[in-house]
Amino acid sequence: MACKITLIGAGSVVFAKTLIGDILQFPELSDAHICLMDIDPARLKVADVMMKRVAETLGVKATVTSTMDQKEAVKDAKYVICTIQVGGYKPSTMRDFDIPKKYGLEQTIADTLGVGGVFRALRTIPVINQIAKDIADHAHPDCLLLNYTNPMAMNCMAVEQEVGIQHVGLCHSVFGTARMLANHTHLPMEDVSYLVAGINHMAFFLKFQYKGRDAYPLLYKVLEDPKRDFELVRYEMMRRTGYFVTESSEHQSEYVPYFIHHGQEVIDKFKVPLDEYPRRCEGIIASWKDTEAKLIGEGDHKMVVNPQSHEYGSYIIHSRETNTLRTVYGNVPNKGIIANLPDYCNVEVPCQVDAVGLQPTMIGDLPPQLASMCLTNINVQQLTVQAALTGKREHIYHAVMLDPHTASALTLDKIWAMCDELIEAHQSDGYLGEFAPVIHNTGRTYAGVGDQLIARARPLGLRLDQPGSEFQLEIEVDNPSGEDAATTMSITCEDAAIEFTQTSVAVAVGAGALTKVTLPGKVLSAVDHEIAIGLKSDAANVLAIDTVLRPYPIIAANDEGAANDEGAATFNIELSGFHCAAGSLQRAGEDLVIKIRVEDSDIQTTNRRFRIGSGAEFFFADSSAESVKKVMLLPDLDGEAVVTDGHRATIAEARLEFEKKELFYEATITLPASLVQAEGTTFFFDCSVNLGALSDAHSGGRASLSGGKKTWEDMTQAHLVDLSPKLVEA
Extents of the domains making up the chain: 1-445, 448-549, 554-722
Residue 520: asked if its preceding bond is cis (omega within 30°), the reply is no
pLDDT (0 to 100) of residue 730? 42
Residue 440 and residue 232: Cα distance in Å, rounded?
A: 44
Q: Average of pLDDT values for 626-630? A: 85
Q: Average of pLDDT values for 241-247? A: 96
Instruction: Work out the percent of the chain whose per-residue pLDDT is above 90.
Output: 70
Q: What is the CA radius of gyration of the chain?
A: 30
Confidence band of 233 (pLDDT split at 50, 70, 90): very high
Q: Average of pLDDT values for 367-380? A: 97
Residue 139 DSSP one-character state: S
Decide if 153 contacts 190 (C-beta within 8 A): no
Q: Average of pLDDT values for 621-647? A: 87
Confidence band of 292 (pLDDT split at 50, 70, 90): confident
Distances (CA, A) of 120 to 39, 93, 187, 201, 425: 18, 8, 38, 16, 13
Spatial strand order of the sheet with 514-523 comes to: 498-500, 514-523, 470-478, 453-460, 542-545
Decide if 199 contacts 378 (C-beta within 8 A): yes
pLDDT (0 to 100) of residue 605? 80
Handedness of CA 91, 96, 99, 104 (dihedral sign): negative
Least confident stretch, 20-24, 290-294, 386-390: 290-294
Least confident stretch, 183-192, 203-212, 321-330, 460-469: 460-469
Model confidence over 107-151: pLDDT tens digits? 999 999 999 999 999 999 999 999 999 999 999 999 999 999 999
Look at the domain 448-549 and name its fold.
Immunoglobulin-like (2.60.40)
Q: Which of 458, 694, 423 is nearest to 575 (CA)?
A: 694
Residue 535 has pLDDT above 90, yes or no: yes
User: How many Cβ atoms are within 10 Å of 413's Cβ, its own excluded?
Assistant: 9
Residue 609 has pLDDT above 50, yes or no: no
Residue 610 has pLDDT above 60, yes or no: no
pLDDT (0 to 100) of residue 239? 95
CATH topology identical between 448-549 and 554-722: yes
Residue 559 has pLDDT above 70, yes or no: no
Instruction: Work out the percent of the chain whose per-residue pLDDT is above 70.
Output: 93
Model confidence over 471-488: pLDDT tens digits? 889 999 988 776 788 999
Distances (CA, A) of 485 to 318, 454, 517, 539, 684: 55, 12, 15, 10, 39
Q: Which of 33, 172, 262, 301 is catalytic?
A: 172
Average confidence score pLDDT of the chain: 90
pLDDT (0 to 100) of residue 727? 43
Least confident stretch, 261-270, 587-596, 689-698: 689-698
Distances (CA, A) of 695 to 13, 99, 596, 613, 664: 36, 15, 15, 16, 6
pLDDT (0 to 100) of residue 382? 98
First to last CA, the chain: 74
Confidence band of 648 (pLDDT split at 50, 70, 90): confident
Residue 421 has pLDDT above 50, yes or no: yes
Annotation marks residue 172 as catalytic = yes
Q: Average of pLDDT values for 417-435? A: 94
Confidence band of 422 (pLDDT split at 50, 70, 90): very high
Q: Average of pLDDT values for 457-461? A: 85
Burial 530-540 (b: 16+ CB within 10 A, else e): ebebebebeee
pLDDT (0 to 100) of residue 52? 94
Residue 443 and residue 437: Cα distance in Å, rounded?
A: 10
Confidence band of 697 (pLDDT split at 50, 70, 90): low
pLDDT (0 to 100) of residue 618? 94
Q: If you count them, how many residues does the chain have?
A: 730
CB-neighbour burial class of residue 640 (10 A; exposed 0-12, middle 13-18, buried 19+):
exposed
Model confidence over 74-107: pLDDT tens digits? 999 999 999 999 999 999 999 999 999 999 999 9
Strand, coil or helix: what is 715? Answer: helix
pLDDT (0 to 100) of residue 651? 94
Residue 641 and residue 581: Cα distance in Å, rounded?
A: 17
Name every residue whose Cβ is closer than 8 Å to that of residue 521 and which is 6 or more positions away in sequence. 459, 462, 470, 471, 472, 473, 498, 499, 500
Distances (CA, A) of 403 to 380, 381, 469, 648: 6, 9, 58, 43
Q: Which of 551, 600, 553 is nearest to 703 (CA)?
A: 600
Residue 186 has pLDDT above 70, yes or no: yes
Residue 391 and residue 546: Cα distance in Å, rounded?
A: 29
Residue 381 has pLDDT above 70, yes or no: yes
pLDDT (0 to 100) of residue 276? 92
Residue 263 and residue 251: Cα distance in Å, rounded?
A: 18
Half-sphere exposure of 646 (CA within 13 A, CB side): 11
Taking the model in full, what pTM does it have?
0.64
Name every residue whose Cβ is closer than 8 Å to that of residue 490 and which is 6 or more positions away in sequence. 503, 504, 505, 535, 536, 537, 538
Confidence band of 450 (pLDDT split at 50, 70, 90): low
Half-sphere exposure of 300 (CA within 13 A, CB side): 2
Residue 369 and residue 475: Cα distance in Å, rounded?
A: 57
For domain 1-445, the CATH architecture is Alpha-Beta Complex (3.90)
Residue 634 and residue 612: Cα distance in Å, rounded?
A: 8
Name every residue whose Cβ is closer than 8 Å to that of residue 115 and which is 6 or more positions away in sequence. 96, 100, 105, 107, 400, 403, 406, 418, 419, 422
Return the CATH number of the domain spanning residue range 554-722. Answer: 2.60.40.1190
